[in-house]
A and B are shown apart, each in its own frame.
Chain A
Amino acid sequence: MEAMAVTARPKLDAERLRADFPYLEELLNGKPVAYLDSASSTQKPRQVLDAMREFYEHSYANVHRGVYRLSERATEGFEGARHKVAKFVNAPSPREIVFTRGATESLNLVAYAWGLDNLGKGDVVVITELEHHSNFVPWQYIASRTGASFRHIPIDDAGELRLDALDEIAASGRVKVVANNLVSNSLGTVNPVEKLAAWAHDQGAIMVVDAAQAAPHRAIDVEALGCDFLAFSSHKLCGPSGIGALWGKRELLEEMSPFNLGGEMIRSVALDKTSWNELPHKFEAGTPAIAEAFGFGAALDYVSAVGLDAIEEHEHELTAYALERLGELDWVRSYGPPADRRAGIVSFNVDGVHPHDVAQILDWEGVAVRAGHHCTQPLMTRLGVSATTRASFYLYTVSEEIDRLVEGLKKAKSQLG
């Protein structure tokens, strides 16, 4: 580690931050759970929980329509969160931020509202072999509905995209959409989205970025990425579940038809004609997750105060340490690129022990990991496995928890391997 460390980045004090997280107060055999499933969903700090409680107690009403003061306060809190999201991803305007239920709904919104009107025979939709099902299946479905072809960028054995395949894909038809995750949820691979965005635009295609796994762990700048849409979720960055965001370029959002209909997305309705509301409300049907949006904003405040650069560096150190410790076990096989090209995610298998059994035995040791295909079945097929065990880290993770993981794996191997 020391040899490659670039120590100009600010340091994060995980021990101090752990005091913010109530889940650590519950002990099992005298120890808090070693929560190594943050890539799935993170734990919540007191600051976010308090902000939501405060909001419900003092500022809650339905948003936008109320003339009374309580509704104004709620609207202010809700729209204030939209401004925070815009700032977090460096969006040119909060009008380009659509609140959704999460990254999955954001990606479905683009696939349906943009895809159904813009795709047809002869068009090509490009995803990658690394994609989460949430950015894979909507495009597979809309491609099949519209007659567009559906192509994937393959990965190499280290789990990195093979950009040498792009020429052949470009030759196969009119590329209209490139959809890719910035960070792979299964392997942690950090993908070259800037390069893909430039290539997509050369083809006349739009670039859709699934940042669900990236936004919690590194600073996001939609302008620097050069993408057209970017999706992420609150619950993976210390915020509540049930809320997320879609950023889209204004010209594209304006041209698009709505996705869900009714409620807030309406300007006027008659028997023969209905007009849509302005951006971003055109895409926000029904009463939104109001307090959740407020909590989302509080979570963005929290992780921003810790510092995205510091979080990235902290996870990088943990990942390097985990790969080193797992490397000591010759019966563990880990997948994915080296630590310097991945986020805080480590996927591996124990020889002779199924991931579900590994996870079960780890749970008895108070170590929480995920076992399964991680919603990336095409990737599992490529790796030639049915499942992996995945440990993932966040700002409250400490290296002792990785030690506990390794001890648990030894137990699993000796009992079942």
Chain B
Amino acid sequence: MSEFDQLYREVILDHYKNPRSHGLLEAPDAVAEGQNPLCGDEVSVSLRFDGDRISEVGFEGRGCAISQAATSMLTEIVQGKTVDEVARMPKEELLEEIGIPLTPVRLKCAILGLGVLKVALHKAKGTPLPEEWTGAGDLTIA
């Protein structure tokens, strides 16, 4: 298999070209957005809950094939799962699904969507933030 085919597996290209759950929800119960500081990938996530379960997911984003395809795949994984399950979901679970060799830099592309989704859960349900999103802070000009 060529290097191209290893990284840009058919399933990745499919999710990239035809992203699932694309478009933000109207009147969502939780939202978050985030960027990958390394290359500027962006992802926004919106969620609706049914009790303690995630009933609907919608995302929008701009970025490389890996970041957008991984977020698309993530929306399929989390649909119907409980908030706690997803908040505790290790990144390895998503990486296994993606199933491609990732260097440390591309790894950050792949887990961007998962991080943003966990930030949305944190904001709405108080679940813990993933490590890379804690204590970063920002500056907002009034």
Contacts and interface: CB of A to CB of B under 8 A. Distances in A.
A276 B35 contact: no
Interface residues of A, number: 32
Contacts of B51: none
Contacts, number: 73
Interface stretch (A65-73, A222-230, A239-247): A65-73
B104 A75 contact: yes
Interface stretch (A22-30, A52-60, A266-274): A266-274
A152 interface: no
Interface string B90-116: 000000000000011110000000000
B132 interface: yes
Nearest to A265: B37
Contacts of B139: 273-276
Nearest to B134: A254
A253 interface: yes
B136 A65 contact: no
Given A66-B105, A67-B105, A268 B136 contact: no
Interface residue range, chain B:
20 to 34
Given A65-B105, A75-B105, A254-B134, A268 B141 contact: no
A253 B136 contact: no
B135 A72 contact: no
A287 to B, nearest CB: 14
A72 B108 CA distance: 13
B38 A274 contact: no
Contacts of A275: 35, 136-139
Contact of A64 (B105, B136, B138): B105
A40 B35 CA distance: 43
B135 A267 contact: no
Interface of A: 64-67, 71-72, 75-76, 79, 95, 250-251, 253-255, 257-258, 264, 266-268, 271-279, 281-282
Which A-B residue pairs are the 10 nearest by beta carbons?
A: A254-B135, A268-B35, A275-B138, A267-B37, A278-B132, A272-B141, A276-B136, A273-B140, A277-B37, A274-B139
Interface of B: 34-35, 37-40, 42, 103-106, 131-141
